[in-house]
Structure 1
Amino acid sequence: INTHTHTHTHTHTHTHTHTHRSFNSEWYKQHPWLEYSQSQNSAYCFACRHFSLPNTPASVFTSQLGFSHWKKAMYKDGGFKVHEKSEGHINAMFAWGEHKKAILTDSSILDALNEAYNKKVQENRKYIKTVAEVLLLTSTQNIAQRGHRETEGADNRGNFLEILEMIAKHDPVVQKKMKGKQNAKYTSSVIQNEILECLANMVRDEIIREVKESEVFSVIADETKDLKKKEQLSLVLRYYYNGAVHESFLDFQQATRLDAEGLKDKIIHRLERYGLEYRSNLVGQGYDGASVMSGKHSGVAARIKTDAKHAVYVHCNAHCLNLVLIDTVKAVPEADCFFALLQKLYVYISGSYVHQKWLDVQKEMYEGQPRELQKLSDTRWACRYLACRNLMDRLPAVLRVLHDIATENSGERSVDARGLLTQLDISFVSLLATFRRLLGDAKVLSDTLQSPSLDLAMALDLVSALKDSFQEYRKETFVDNLWKSIVDTRKCNDGDKDSFRRTIFYPIVDTILGELDRRFSKVNCEIMRGIQALNPKSTCFLQEEAVFRLGEIYESDSEDLSHELHQTRRLLQRKQQSGMANLSGIVELAVFLEPHKDVFHELFRLCKIAIALPVSSAACERSFSALKLIKTHLRTTMADDRLSNLGVLSIEARRAKSLDMDKFIKLFATNHQNRRINLIIFNKLYLS
């Protein structure tokens, strides 16, 4: 019963007695203590029923039957008037009044407490949000958070605390919290880890949501050693979502076992942890060519395929191109010696005395900024193009530097210069010009293969285009033009040209063409033919046989697929007749079909599969670059979970920067309830 507010109901029907009289609602105005029961057709006293003092004599207004003599209700010597004058009623009315005063007072106190509490919570939320934003800033910028000494009075307490202190100078709320209790500042390493985990999980949740909506996906994985000599496994998911290809980083994991079974368990455990249905939806695997990953019978790819039968292994195409160049150099001895000499020249020019002379000579001979010779990369052969280009453009300056030092008679340095000068002959210059051209073309392909938006069909087209270019290079006109650039650098005769063509240029070009055919022969397999048939630029676009075979591999409904192919051709023809531009790739075909995906379900699914199949493992390589920026020499003691969370926030910085911080506060407050700082706002506080 609500003893705070006593309300009267005027809408009920009052029953007439045998005297044809009934309860009158107007009596409520004169007697606010009055209450009426329609079922009993009787009146009662609200005050006496609820606030009578102990041992108060019973009254008809508190009895079960109640008062119903309506004729006497308003008599001076009976009914309501007499009851109002009774001592018991007067005491009850006083008690009721005091009760209402107390309730009103308590309500004011509750409102004040509620307002003060919510104000405190708002301050707490603002402070925690600021702490999280500082951690987010340092994470996305790959800045170390913690300092060597974080105690009060230390000169440098680390980027995280120093940035917070700077903000505190301009924000009274942050300043108040920073000067508060030590155990309620929320700046400890434990709290940092919890906030970073919450932020990283929000990014992961967004990625997982997109993958689940896309349905099909591929996994790309690679491992590397960090500065602590721990093997870190990088995991990336590739999928089609919202009209674009996505390669999203999921996390780093320490790989304690480097055998195929151990690595396979790591990958599967992560997919299961994030609730991804890999048995039917995992359509591709992208790794490098290491035997532990690509082994036909017991490698990681083969083991995963036993559980996920659709998970086709794709050898990283960027690695394939790299192997083409490596095998070419090994097959042509002159080329192998050329790159060894190129590295020796870089080392010699990099010496302090020689390097200064190198800069001075360039300033005399050329306008603009001096160029540096490039160190050769052992793993990225296409990048050696820059080394060849810079040396070719600055070869006269190199020869002058070596000649000047050789005539100085300065001991070992002069001897080395004479030796290098002797070896920079016509053969070296010929190889330099050749590899500048060939590696330049290969670098364009290498850079394109590393693009996340590239699909396999386009990759195979680019490889074919490179092979066509190299075939053109075997023509006499190209060799003549290339030889002219060599003649402009060194004096030579016609016999040198024939020797160059026969012993250097043709063997290198033929070896590259042979290796390209061998390494990229997968174009003949059924999956690749099916993917090509989904490429609008292909001559076999929407060819039924190739698409049907791809559909069989991925268990499509052949009858539905046949109807969809027929309707798609007709739809594309009508669109082209109306002036729509031709589609240029599988992604554009998927975008075209997506508004009608319920109608073209099977064909749209095959497009998503073709897009999801990995082209290269470059996304993992890029994550290793982030790993080096995060786990530096000064941060080698970083825990694996923190490293993984920082990796997600750094690599997926675009997603991290767009996080809803109010949502973060709610998640943080929900997941971490035992806190010294209240973060949950209540609409009302209740006191017992």
Structure 2
Amino acid sequence: MDRVYCEPCWLFSDRMCLSHHPSWTVGINDWQGLSAKIKKHESSRAHLAACVVFDTWKNDLTVDAQLHSEYKSQVRFWTDVLMRITDVTLTLASCNLAFRGHREKVGELNSGNFLSVIDLLARYDPVLRELLDKKSNVNYLSPSIQNELIALLSQRVHDEIVSEIKEAEFYSVIMDTTQDLSKVDQLSQVFRYVTVRKDEADNAIAVDINESFLGFQNISYQTAQGLETKITELIQSKGLPLHKCRGQGYDGASTMSGIYSGVQKRILDKEPNAVYVHCAAHNLNLVLNDACQHITEIKEYYDILQRLYVFFSQSIKRWELLENHLKSKPTLKRLCPTRWASRRDALYALRFRYADILQALTKITLRSKKSDERTEAMGLLKAMEAFEFVMMTVIQEKILETINIVSQVLQKKDVDLLQAASLLGNATCTLAQLRDQFDNLKCTAQGLASSWGIRCNFRHKRTCRIKRHFDELTEDQRLTNPEEIFKVNVFYMCIDTVVSQVRTRFHGMDSVTRKFQFLCPTELLRASDEALNESAKTLAAIYNEDLSSEFSSQLLSFRNALGSTDVATALKLFLTIPVTVASAERSFSKLKMIKNYLRSTMSQDRLSGLAMLSIESQRARRMDLTEIVKEFAQKNVRRRGRFGHC
């Protein structure tokens, strides 16, 4: 090797170029004036061109490499774009916000929340800014892409919940229907099941009761047979075995709860262990409804409460007059027969703003120029100035205060039948004891009436008497003391009606609770071996497919701090049985937010998907969005190329 070469020219020199000198490719061995020859060659056109190609090759900037680098850059860009679009979709769905507007173009007025949020983020995010600046027909911002992402997100949540239900040993169905804004009957699907949390050593550390929403289903038939067929189809479509269903939770409608041909009876015929429990919260509300319907004085009392709200709310001036007196909340509330806490809220507002309402009615009576307005105000004022009305307010406040505590607990997802039965038992005892506290309630009412300037005496009422013939010896003996009349005909009757209704309506729950009551920790410690053994054998006979013949012996071992499988199974069985349909009722609140009058033409799939992401938002927020992007990219060939999943 006694020659000098030029490496760039040797490798990449254009041999056809006129300025090409072959000596630098084959080598130079003429050493005289070599320095000048090198300088001359470095400035030649052929050498400079060869150096450019050499540098490109050395930096791995071949055409293939550049194309591959550009492809990876585009894949990264579109993946980042879709991650942001998916996150915006999930955020809007979780917040019950509408997506589309009057226009379907970014930057225009009334373009909707989705495009407006994308436009807002693009001001600060270079990825979305680049997307909006691209002159391309592809941007993944169309309504069809929104629907596809909503479907993918909701399906992922749905599959996760179904997977948990399958891992649980048992489940219960909680179903309820309501009519949406488009006059479509929507069936809310909620499943109750128990999961066991474990530590790293696979030891159980906690038990969680879950009530998970699995979407809305439109119903075109309301018969018991049609609903039972639909519910069974929905259970089977999720891959859940019906023989693992251990409970049914519905409201008290005869179609659902009928003992001969209702939905619960038809499912019970297919799976005898799927016990039906009438919604405890609905039952508790019906107790109050029955008390109002059977006692005229109570019905009239709540009618006046509703008239007060209507009288003031139908006029801006009257409402402003009342607001001037109401220096702080609460204001008057409307009565709603289906809203469980409406009576308590209305009574609470009346009780704490009684004097202000009296002043407002008095001003209207003296100053109003409208005869019908004055007449209505005078009628309401006369009713509120009666001591019986004040007494009724105190009595109803005591009753509703007791019932409301139970109602609030019953609406929790993790409440079980033992808790519900215990609360109802305590409430029944409290109400029964209230029967002996008339004098205390009267003293409270007298103190309030005095502070409001109301006379503290019961009004005399003319009483009808049976005509006595001259040859009859008997006399028509009736109560004449107005206080005694109120005490017997109103107070006692009200307490007795509520107590008897609670005991009657919750008899079915008590029968189910008694089967599992021996599993309560206090009962386990207190009961004798013989009693536990007998109770365990009875339960094992009922659930012979779930509990073995060794259950009774395991129960006794469990009490002695030894492990047992069947005891844990029995506890899971008990916790799986539903108490209320409050979770289904809560889904209807979301339904009204999602499908409002501006979104009344929404498709069923979109509605169900948005409801899933809204109601199960915590679960949805934990999802890995990269998996959603991958699933979206696999939908067709063009996407697989764009997102690098060929």
User: Under a length normalisation based on structure 1, what TM-score does the superposition of the two structures give?
Assistant: 0.76
Give the superposition deviation at 1:475.
Answer: 1.8
Corresponding position of 2:517:
532
Pairing partner for 2:322 from 347, 358, 361: 358
Q: Is the 2:107–2:119 Cα contact (8 Å) retained in structure 1?
A: no
Corresponding position of 2:490:
504
Corresponding position of 1:379:
338
Kindly report which structure 2 residues correspond to 1:153-552, keeping only aligned pairs within 5 A, or say none. 154-180=108-134, 183-241=137-195, 242=197, 243-278=207-242, 280-350=243-313, 351-363=315-327, 369-411=328-370, 412-424=372-384, 425-476=386-437, 478-488=440-450, 489=452, 490-493=454-457, 497-525=483-511, 527-538=512-523, 543-552=532-541
Q: Deviations over 1:271-318 (max 9, x none)?
A: 22221122x211111000111111122211122223333211111000
Give the superposition deviation at 1:184.
Answer: 1.3
Give the superposition deviation at 1:349.
Answer: 2.0
In 2 relative to 1, CA 139–336 (structure 1 residues): closer, same or farther, beyond 3 Å?
Answer: same
Task: Report the residue type matching 1:566 in the other structure.
Answer: L
Kindly report which structure 2 residues correspond to 1:52-63, keeping only aligned pairs within 5 A, or say none. none
CA distance in structure 1 between the aligned counterparts of 2:634 and 2:150, rounded to whole angstroms: 15
Give the superposition deviation at 1:409.
Answer: 4.9
Pairing partner for 2:565 from 592, 601, 604: 601
User: Under a length normalisation based on structure 2, what TM-score does the superposition of the two structures give?
Assistant: 0.80
Give the superposition deviation at 1:600.
Answer: 2.1
Q: Is the 1:479–1:501 Cα contact (8 Å) retained in structure 2?
A: no
Q: Deviations over 1:573-620 (max 9, x none)?
A: xxxxxxxxxxxxxxxxxxxxxxxxxx5222111111111111000001
In 2 relative to 1, CA 304–680 (structure 1 residues): closer, same or farther, beyond 3 Å?
Answer: farther
CA distance in structure 1 between the aligned counterparts of 2:273 and 2:637, rounded to whole angstroms: 43
Give the superposition deviation at 1:469.
Answer: 0.5
CA distance in structure 2 between the aligned counterparts of 1:203 and 1:549, rounded to whole angstroms: 39
Give the superposition deviation at 1:319.
Answer: 0.6
Flag the structure with larger Rg. 1
Q: Is the 1:627–1:647 Cα contact (8 Å) retained in structure 2?
A: yes
CA distance in structure 1 between the aligned counterparts of 2:213 and 2:166, rounded to whole angstroms: 15
Give the superposition deviation at 1:370.
Answer: 4.3
After the TM superposition, which of the residue ranges 395-404 and 129-138 deviates more from structure 2?
395-404
Task: Report the residue type matching 1:125 in the other structure.
Answer: T
Alignment of 1:567 with 2:557, yes or no, is yes
Q: Is the 1:359–1:370 Cα contact (8 Å) retained in structure 2?
A: no
Give the superposition deviation at 1:152.
Answer: 5.6
Give the superposition deviation at 1:522.
Answer: 2.1
Kindly report which structure 2 residues correspond to 1:642-681, keeping only aligned pairs within 5 A, or say none. 642-675=606-639, 678-680=642-644
Task: Report the residue type matching 2:369 in the other structure.
Answer: S
CA distance in structure 2 between the aligned counterparts of 1:444 and 1:628, rounded to whole angstroms: 27
Output the aligned Cα RMSD.
Answer: 2.4
Q: Deviations over 1:383-439 (max 9, x none)?
A: 311211211221111111111211125122112111212222122221111111111
After the TM superposition, which of the residue ranges 298-307 and 287-296 deviates more from structure 2?
298-307
Q: Deviations over 1:148-185 (max 9, x none)?
A: 11136631211101111111222222222233355311
CA distance in structure 2 between the aligned counterparts of 1:481 and 1:111, rounded to whole angstroms: 93
Alignment of 1:149 with 2:103, yes or no, is yes
CA distance in structure 1 between the aligned counterparts of 2:508 and 2:640, rounded to whole angstroms: 61
Corresponding position of 2:464:
none
Q: Is the 1:284–1:314 Cα contact (8 Å) retained in structure 2?
A: yes
Give the superposition deviation at 1:545.
Answer: 2.5
Q: Is the 2:594–2:611 Cα contact (8 Å) retained in structure 1?
A: yes
Task: Report the residue type matching 2:102 in the other structure.
Answer: H
Secondary structure of 1:634's counterpart equals: coil
Q: Is the 1:260–1:300 Cα contact (8 Å) retained in structure 2?
A: yes
Q: Is the 2:421–2:509 Cα contact (8 Å) retained in structure 1?
A: yes
Corresponding position of 1:121:
75
CA distance in structure 2 between the aligned counterparts of 1:206 and 1:137, rounded to whole angstroms: 19
Give the superposition deviation at 1:466.
Answer: 0.2
Task: Report the residue type matching 2:291 in the other structure.
Answer: T
Q: Deviations over 1:14-65 (max 9, x none)?
A: xxxxxxxxxxxxxxxxxxxxxxxxxxxxxxxxxxxxxxxxxxxxxxxxxxxx
CA distance in structure 1 between the aligned counterparts of 2:429 and 2:416, rounded to whole angstroms: 20
In 2 relative to 1, CA 297–206 (structure 1 residues): closer, same or farther, beyond 3 Å?
Answer: same
Task: Report the residue type matching 1:307 in the other structure.
Answer: K
CA distance in structure 1 between the aligned counterparts of 2:137 and 2:91, rounded to whole angstroms: 24
Give the superposition deviation at 1:109.
Answer: 4.7
Q: Is the 2:634–2:640 Cα contact (8 Å) retained in structure 1?
A: no
Give the superposition deviation at 1:485.
Answer: 4.3
Corresponding position of 2:465:
none
In 2 relative to 1, CA 251–370 (structure 1 residues): closer, same or farther, beyond 3 Å?
Answer: closer
After the TM superposition, which of the residue ranges 212-221 and 666-675 deviates more from structure 2?
666-675
CA distance in structure 2 between the aligned counterparts of 1:478 and 1:378, rounded to whole angstroms: 30
Identity %: 35
CA distance in structure 1 between the aligned counterparts of 2:302 and 2:433, rounded to whole angstroms: 25
* Runs of at least 5 residues in structure 1 that lack an aligned partner in the other structure: 1-102, 364-368, 573-598, 683-688
In 2 relative to 1, CA 534–670 (structure 1 residues): closer, same or farther, beyond 3 Å?
Answer: farther
In 2 relative to 1, CA 673–506 (structure 1 residues): closer, same or farther, beyond 3 Å?
Answer: farther
Secondary structure of 2:252's counterpart equals: coil
Corresponding position of 1:584:
none
CA distance in structure 2 between the aligned counterparts of 1:381 and 1:428, rounded to whole angstroms: 23
Secondary structure of 2:375's counterpart equals: helix
CA distance in structure 1 between the aligned counterparts of 2:637 and 2:446, rounded to whole angstroms: 76
After the TM superposition, which of the residue ranges 631-640 and 556-565 deviates more from structure 2?
556-565
CA distance in structure 2 between the aligned counterparts of 1:416 and 1:502, rounded to whole angstroms: 30
